[in-house]
Amino acid sequence: MPKVEYQDWGILPYAEAWEKQGVIQQSLIANKRANRNREAEGEELKPQLHQLIFCTHPHVYTLGKSGSEDHLLISPEDREKHQVEYYKINRGGDITYHGPGQIVGYPIFDLDEFFTDVHKYVRFLEEAIIRLLGNHGITGTRIEGFTGVWIEPEKPEYPKRKICAIGVHLSRWVTLHGFALNVNSDLDFFKHIVPCGINDADKTVTSMAAELGTQLDETKLKLELKDIFAALFEFDFVDNMQ
């Protein structure tokens, strides 16, 4: 089974997390290339040490490579006033928000050791979140044509509510970026963007706290979610991890 190291980076500025992800991704790619040479020389291969990283970012908007800057609705002056950063990044998808009360997950996996199917990988990310939500009495679902995890409305006239955004980038089948689950998020920050580029009147955003009417323990949720990932992706955590 693949070996994965779990890390909780705590609260970390977005740019620093993005840089650290890139270093880890390039390390996995370099080891994969080196293993090909080792194999050709009949040498012992060095195992890949995949990473499952959770963290929280200070307020930030990020725009994916397929997104439109028109979906950022707040001026630079107001961003500065509200202390919100903004980055154009290399993941798929459009614009989203990260901030306090949100669990951001960065699985950095060499999919050559799992499965080489991008669509399946995204569906697995969604499934992990759906399982976590189900453990807490929230029925998460998918909507055809829209990535991420949603809550179906109780009545047809109510909007569908997005609770988790997903955007990834792969290089040599090594993943980067991941998901953002709204747990105790301040949803007002989504009013300054067109979330994920979806400008439909029947779609909005939500959080676990909004759905349940109470705040949740994010630390406990992270530990629960990491075990869901291990079961779903069928990997083992390295021995020194809890």
Residue 196 among the catalytic residues: yes
Residue 237 near residue 6, CB atoms below 8 Å: yes
Pick the catalytic residue from 196, 205, 208, 221. 196
Rounded-to-integer distance, Cα 241 and Cα 197, Å: 38
Q: 227 is written with which tokens?
A: 């075990």
Q: What's the distance, CA 180 to chain centroid? A: 4
Question: Which of helix, strand or coil describes residue 130?
Answer: helix
Rounded-to-integer distance, Cα 190 and Cα 196, Å: 10
Side-chain half-sphere exposure of 165, counting CA atoms within 13 A: 29
- Catalytic annotation, residues: 196
